[in-house]
Amino acid sequence: MLVKWIRCTVMDRRGFERGQRKWAGLLGEPGFRGQGGGWSRARPDVAHVFAFWESRAFYDSFMARSHDRLASAQSGTFKDGQVKLFEHRFDVKTGFEPRFTGVDVVRVAHSKVREERVEHYALMQEKVWNPAMAGSPGMVRGLFGEAPGNEFLVMSMWESAAEHGKYRVERVERLLLRTQTEADIEALTGDVVELEASWTV
């Protein structure tokens, strides 16, 4: 499965949201699995959108045919658009599905990992971080994705911001020490996204 993560700074919020609803047109696209998104909790003018495709081939076909028609509704409403594509590598918790039901908040962490530390980083994600997140109340589903250039995405979906906040306070500092994450990572960016139900396709 291919995961597309779009992040942008919105200048015209109403126009952007109106355009976002036009993406319902994705529903007939071959290989399309789901899309959702919302606003950054830290920076209210930053929007995040997550889209899921069965494969890169289906996604490339969509980009060549229908993308520009759907995207035109949001033209001029945002700037600094950044798009990243990741291949799904494994689930966080079992049975990830590209759905946004029962979820209020998505936590996204994007890491650039030192080349000689990639195997260690992936192993720690699978053996330490995954079970810690999967065992946290309020964590619904998530995934670990990989992109060329030693880039990784950890996406976790939470029932509420409060549940995600509890996990952070209780677990994260201890786990950072245990997994030597700082030695693995060259750069780390992340955000907590409040989902907008009307953006879900």
Domain chopping of the chain, boundaries? 2-199
The pLDDT value given to residue 7: 98
Q: Which fold has domain 2-199?
A: Alpha-Beta Plaits (3.30.70)
Query: Comparing C-alpha atoms, which of 27, 37, 42, 44 is closest to residue 5?
Result: 37
Tokens of 17: 């949201």
Answer whether 49's CB lies under 8 Å from 35's CB: yes
- In which residue ranges of the chain is pLDDT below 50? none
In this predicted structure, what is the pLDDT of residue 140? 94
pTM metric for this prediction: 0.94
Alpha-carbon gap, residue 148 to 2, rounded angstroms? 13
Structure confidence at residue 94 (pLDDT): 78
Q: 3-state SS of the chain: helix, strand, coil percent to 5? A: 40, 40, 20
C-beta of residue 95 within 8 angstroms of C-beta of residue 140? no
pLDDT for the residue 165: 84
Which pLDDT score is estimated for 45? Answer: 97
